[in-house]
Chain A
Amino acid sequence: MAMTSDAALEAAPVEKARGYWATVARRISRDKVSMACAAILILIVLAAIFAPWLGLADPYQGSMIRRLRPIGTPNYPLGTDELGRDMLSRLVYGGRLSLLIGILPVILAFGIGTSLGLLAGYLGGKVNTIIMRTIDVFYAFPSVLLAIAISGVLGAGIVNSIVSLTVVFVPQITRVAESVTTSVRSLDFVDAARASGASALTIMRVHMLGNVLGPIFVYATGLISVSMILAAGLSFLGLGTRPPEPEWGLMLNTLRTAIYVNPGVAALPGVMIFAVSICFNMLSDGLRSAMDIRN
């Protein structure tokens, strides 16, 4: 009897109180779907980063005599494209630009939108009116139209495509950041910080940021999927990456004419966009439910 209670006492402190993020991490690591998606994404990202060391064929080296070989051709496991370049190599290398132009706009918009939303939400009054009414104007454009209009006007190119997508996502993130900030601003601990003499900047940086970042982050991760589709879409239209760069959207565009000759190969770049986009979506859903501690 005494033994067991001693053992129980000894065991008790091991169950240390976890922090919020530790709990979230533990919950999401138990979610099989999220973990599978994370594994696929990590694999694609690593393959893209280490592409030059994987012993793949040169993604730029074409050959007129072996164009549009089907999937499963010896030496060309995923066939060749319309210029006879190795598809496997181009798909792996394609991840570099595709992921960059898909993810970077969300990261940039996350930084800008969070700052703007924090300012608008915390300072309120005129600052809030100016920022939020400007944001409203961008909401008057459907996001695809806005992205294409800005890219179309700026001209084709990777930088322009990143800029236009950032402009599309900043208003959306700002709106979320503003509403989260407004709801946190009136909580007691912010009043306490203010009463203790902390400056507005200190309050925003030290007390608010940690509390608003979570929900904004989850929202932003959900945007990556849209951003991947739109970024590749801009390249597909000829407004993003330029040939001969390997990039999934552009590859889909140049292979469009090949659907009558070799449909399997022509559809491959889209499979990559789809896979990355759906994995980010599922991961974002998983993160959202892991952060919802009430469940």
Chain B
Amino acid sequence: MLVYVLRRIVYVIPIVVSVALVCFLLVHITPGDPLVAVLPPDASAELAAQLRAAYGFDQPLPVQFGLWVWHALHGNLGTSIATGRPVLAEVTAAVGNTFILAVSAAIIGFALGAFFGLIAGYFRNTWVDKLATSIAVAGVSVPHYWLGMVLVIIFSVWLNWLPAVGMGPGGWSWDWEHMRFLILPAVTMSVIPMGIVTRTVRALTGDILSQDFVEALRSKGLRETQVFRHVVKNALPTAIAVMGLQLGYLLGGSILIETVFSWPGTGFLLNSAIFQRDLPLLQGTILVLALFFVFLNLVVDIAQAAIDPRIKRA
């Protein structure tokens, strides 16, 4: 197990370096001057050169990359051009909010998906299966930013039950006052993982039910509910792994939902960074989200290997 974990970690190192390189290069394929957002239109050439030196844009690319990585390793992701605040502080504040949203959505999506998938796989080719499969297909096909709008129309505009935007007054806390704001975005965000988990669990359940050991369980006289428990136990590791990856996609892909609901997370930050051409902020946010995704993948792989010994040997 330890060897597997170490091998997996060693394999991640080149990925992390490449991710940093991609994030760095991303900004340098930008058309136009990266300083365009801060420079007043009538700035003198002298001022422009000064600022360029201050942000380090006058150095050769490899040196800039080296410096950027060196600073990043020391927790310094540069300064936001638009606000003048450290990028890391901006990103940290936003990551927490995105986390609240993505984890809530993941829990809802996993619970619903596991339920639909299990009953669909168990009652294959019945109307229950068809219904659950249709819900799953709808879940992965719906433009979620549009679903968000529709839910706002129903629950905020017509019924006036839940707030349409924002995350509540003051800082976040887990009380009704704030959680009212979480319900719509979290439910909207949960439809994609719901659909994917339903499909995965349905296929898994079908596979497991056709294995010999289920036959053996039945022939030794177990009741159907007990057989069901075995099925759940066998399907769980893969389902959790799929969900782990989905959580990564939710964290990285929250921009559309956060824009619809004005949820002040990383997606919202990304959005303003793009439109204010705040390149250090853009770079830093993407880097943090990508590294998080890589890390989550690693954790999922290791956790899966720990639960299911068959994987390690592959």
Interface residues of A (CB under 8 A from B): 133, 136-137, 140-145, 148-150, 152-155, 225, 229, 232-233, 236-239, 252, 256, 259-260, 263, 266-267, 269-271, 273-274, 277-278, 280-282, 285
Cβ of B146 < 8 Å from any Cβ of A?
yes
Q: Scoring B residues 4 to 36 as 1 if CB is less than 8 Å from chain A, else 0, what string do you get?
A: 000000000011001100100011011100000
Cβ of B274 < 8 Å from any Cβ of A?
yes
- What CA separation (Å) do A136 and B251 show in the bound complex? 19
| A281 partner, pick from B14, B141, B147, B274, beta carbons under 8 A | B141
Cβ of B231 < 8 Å from any Cβ of A?
no
Q: How far is the CB of B260 from chain A (nearest CB, A)?
A: 8
Given contacts A137-B19, A142-B252, contact A266 B290 (CB under 8 A): no
Task: Chain A residues near B30: list those with CB within 8 A.
Answer: 153-154
* Residue in A145, A152, A155, A267 with the greatest tally of chain B CB atoms within 10 Å: A145
Q: In the complex the two chains form, is B141's CB within 8 Å of A259's CB?
A: no
Cβ of B256 < 8 Å from any Cβ of A?
yes
The interface stretch among B77-85, B117-125, B149-157, B171-179 is B149-157
* Residue in A140, A263, A269, A277 with the greatest tally of chain B CB atoms within 10 Å: A140
| B149 partner, pick from A155, A233, A256, A280, beta carbons under 8 A | A256
- What CA separation (Å) do A87 and B113 show in the bound complex? 36
* Residue in A143, A237, A266, A271 with the greatest tally of chain B CB atoms within 10 Å: A237
Cβ of B91 < 8 Å from any Cβ of A?
no
Q: In the complex the two chains form, is A263's CB within 8 Å of B153's CB?
A: yes
Task: Chain A residues near B145: list those with CB within 8 A.
Answer: 233, 236, 252, 270
Task: Chain A residues near B22: list those with CB within 8 A.
Answer: 137, 141
Cβ of B143 < 8 Å from any Cβ of A?
yes
| A143 partner, pick from B142, B149, B249, B251, beta carbons under 8 A | B249
Q: In the complex the two chains form, is A239's CB within 8 Å of B253's CB?
A: no
Q: In the complex the two chains form, is A140's CB within 8 Å of B270's CB?
A: no
Q: In the complex the two chains form, is A274's CB within 8 Å of B149's CB?
A: no
Task: Chain A residues near B89: list those with CB within 8 A.
Answer: none
* Category for how many chain B residues contact A: 35 or more
Cβ of B286 < 8 Å from any Cβ of A?
yes
Task: Chain B residues near A285: list those with CB within 8 A.
Answer: 137
Task: Chain B residues near A154: list those with CB within 8 A.
Answer: 29-31
Q: In the complex the two chains form, is A140's CB within 8 Å of B141's CB?
A: no
Q: In the complex the two chains form, is A274's CB within 8 Å of B26's CB?
A: no
Q: How far is the CB of A237 from chain B (nearest CB, A)?
A: 6
Given contacts A149-B26, A153-B27, A237-B256, contact A140 B157 (CB under 8 A): no
| A225 partner, pick from B29, B141, B149, B274, beta carbons under 8 A | B141
Q: How far is the CB of B85 from chain A (nearest CB, A)?
A: 20
Q: In the complex the two chains form, is A142's CB within 8 Å of B256's CB?
A: no
Q: How far is the CB of B82 from chain A (nearest CB, A)?
A: 14
Q: In the complex the two chains form, is A153's CB within 8 Å of B141's CB?
A: no
Q: In the complex the two chains form, is A152's CB within 8 Å of B141's CB?
A: no
Q: Scoring B residues 253 to 295 as 1 if CB is less than 8 Å from chain A, else 0, what string do you get?
A: 1011001100000000011011100000010001001100110
Nearest 10 A-B pairs (CB), nearest first?
A270-B146, A142-B252, A144-B253, A152-B274, A278-B141, A145-B252, A137-B18, A263-B153, A277-B141, A273-B143
Main secondary structure of the interface of A (DSSP, over half): helix
Task: Taking A145-B252, A267-B150 as given, write out 5 further A-B residue pairs in contact, using a Cβ cutoff of 8 Å, ordered by the A residue number.
Answer: A141-B19, A141-B22, A145-B290, A152-B270, A267-B153
- What CA separation (Å) do A250 and B29 show in the bound complex? 26
Q: In the complex the two chains form, is A273's CB within 8 Å of B146's CB?
A: yes
Residue pairs across A and B with Cβ atoms less than 8 A apart, 30 shown, are: A136-B18, A140-B294, A142-B251, A143-B253, A144-B252, A145-B252, A145-B286, A145-B293, A148-B255, A149-B26, A149-B282, A152-B270, A152-B274, A153-B30, A153-B282, A154-B31, A225-B141, A236-B256, A252-B145, A252-B146, A256-B260, A259-B149, A260-B157, A266-B149, A270-B145, A273-B146, A274-B142, A277-B142, A278-B137, A278-B142
Residue of A nearest to B27 (CB): A153
- What CA separation (Å) do A277 and B251 show in the bound complex? 23
- What CA separation (Å) do A236 and B282 show in the bound complex? 19
* Residue in B14, B18, B145, B251 with the greatest tally of chain A CB atoms within 10 Å: B145
Q: How far is the CB of A258 from chain B (nearest CB, A)?
A: 10
Q: In the complex the two chains form, is A225's CB within 8 Å of B290's CB?
A: no
Q: In the complex the two chains form, is B142's CB within 8 Å of A140's CB?
A: no
Given contacts A137-B22, A278-B137, A278-B138, contact A270 B149 (CB under 8 A): yes
| A136 partner, pick from B15, B273, B286, B289, beta carbons under 8 A | B15
